[in-house]
Amino acid sequence: MVKSIRPLVLFCGCLLTLFWGCGEKKHAEIVQKDSVGSAIKYASGFIIEKKQDYTVLEVTSPWPGAETHFKYALVPKEKLASMTFPKDAYDAIVGTPVENIVLTSTTHIAPLEALGELKTLVGFPDTDYISSSAARKLVDEGQIKDLGMNEAINTEMVLLLHPDLIIGFSINEDNNSYDIIKRAGIPVIYNGDWVEQTPLGKAEWIKFFAPFFQKEVVADSIFKEIETSYLEAVKLAKTAKNKPSVLTGGLYKDVWYVAGGKSWMAQFLEDANSDYLWADTSETGSIGLSLESVLEKAQNADFWFNPSAETSYTNLENANPHHRKFAAFTNKKIYSNAMEKGAKGGLIFYEQAPQRPDIVLKDFIAILHPELLPDHELRFIKPLE
């Protein structure tokens, strides 16, 4: 299973106006004293600095446990010819706004679509995973080319497309395909949105994409609306009169994987005011357990979320008869994020939920505390058939 895979507060000084340069070539080092940090509040995997003439984007967590940071200079195209940079100061220099790009994770689709830049997408590995109806239309029309599998991306096709850059997804620093592409002069920009462990942290990665299109103001506005909506939902959940107990996950080859207490999913359950039975664990990913230990702890849990890939009670029972021993099974209180799929079978949750955590949280609140959101229509988390 691939973990692909996002507040009512004023942003202070989040954007500075770029000054237009002219005349003789300018050495980029001389303007570094004028840099300031951009307003990144929740995401921990990247940093944005606005300098006088360009933007610096630094990715600090491209994959779990990464010791390597990547630093990129994003320069308005009209200024590229008048600027020079110290050798090896940046992993890539990109002229903005970019006109055509390659993405490598479905989590990149939603931010691009929200920014109104889906038209710039020209290639994607295994397009069947794409669920967005707008993006699927571009696939069907031939604008978005299929580039094979991400682990072995079709480098020949990428070179033929000659994109302005690739937004790369990788689980470690070993990616021969990216090395070939970089040697051909195409910048590879690593994205680590999937490493983030908080809902608003994942959603804030829209600010990672914005500078490539000179749309920082648009991204700030989009994120502020999401932030406000999310925090208002948290506040609403706190008014609930009860705190239902919750079980997560399911069996895979005799091992039951539950969400760790510091994971993205656990944060949703905490913010929805539930009693998640593994909330006190320190894992940021999943925890492998035996069926017996899960049954002992969660047999009487009020709700059960995301039982592996099963989407019906019949399939869940057929997968393992012991599932019937859980109260949530008997009481039909099992919900899944795998119910809604794109035209080619891609899970909509993994593509779109990181960009809209406020809607995910409202789904959980509507399920756990239906009296608080009686008119909410479930979008990402839905009951088993």
Same domain for 321 and 217: no
**CA terminus-to-terminus distance, the chain:** 22
Position 171 scores a pLDDT of: 86
Give me the sign of the Cα torsion angle 330, 332, 336, 339.
Answer: positive
Q: What is the pLDDT along the chain (385 residues), one digit of tens a residue?
A: 333 333 322 223 332 222 223 333 344 443 333 344 458 999 999 999 999 999 999 999 999 889 889 999 999 999 988 888 888 899 999 999 999 999 999 999 999 999 999 999 999 999 999 999 999 999 999 999 999 987 789 999 999 999 999 999 888 888 888 999 999 999 999 999 999 999 999 999 999 999 999 999 999 999 999 999 999 999 999 999 999 999 999 998 899 999 999 999 999 999 999 999 999 999 999 999 999 999 999 999 999 999 988 899 999 999 999 999 999 999 999 999 999 999 998 899 999 999 999 999 999 999 999 999 999 999 999 999 9
Final residue in a domain of this structure, among 198, 227, 256: 227
- Which letter, b or e, does each residue of 49-68 get, where b requires 16 or more Cβ atoms within 10 Å of its Cβ? bbbbbbbbbebbbbbeebee
Same domain for 284 and 318: yes
Would residue 20 count as lying in a domain?
no
Would residue 98 count as lying in a domain?
yes
Closest CA to 112 of 380, 361, 360, 351: 351
Same domain for 250 and 194: no
Would residue 43 count as lying in a domain?
yes
Report residue 277 as tokens: 């039975």
Q: How many domains does the chain have?
A: 2
Position 176 scores a pLDDT of: 85
Position 38 scores a pLDDT of: 57
Same domain for 216 and 332: no
Same domain for 137 and 268: no
Q: Are 368 and 238 in contact (CB under 8 A)?
A: no
Distance CA 33, CA 51 (A): 8
Would residue 12 count as lying in a domain?
no
Would residue 10 count as lying in a domain?
no
Task: Provide the 10 A C-beta neighbour count for residue 146.
Answer: 15
Report residue 375 as tokens: 């008119």
Distance CA 353, CA 379 (A): 9
> Residue 278 sits in a domain of what CATH number?
3.40.50.1980
Final residue in a domain of this structure, among 227, 251, 266: 227
Q: DSSP H helical segments within 256-374, as ranges?
A: 264-271, 291-298, 313-319, 327-330, 348-352, 357-368
Would residue 308 count as lying in a domain?
yes
Q: Which domain holds residue 98?
A: 26-227
Same domain for 216 and 71: yes
Final residue in a domain of this structure, among 186, 206, 227: 227
Same domain for 256 and 182: no
Half-sphere exposure of 59 (CA within 13 A, CB side): 30
Same domain for 52 and 146: yes
Same domain for 195 and 305: no
Same domain for 192 and 252: no
Distance CA 222, CA 199 (A): 15
Place of tokens 């990464």: 66
Angle between helical axes of 216-237 and 264-271 (0-180°, round to 10): 50
Would residue 50 count as lying in a domain?
yes
Position 11 scores a pLDDT of: 28
Would residue 7 count as lying in a domain?
no
Same domain for 311 and 194: no
Same domain for 367 and 337: yes
Give the single-character DSSP code of 347.
B
Q: How far apart, in Å, are the Cα atoms of 146 and each of 130, 138, 150, 383?
A: 11, 11, 10, 33
Distance CA 115, CA 120 (A): 11
pTM as predicted: 0.88
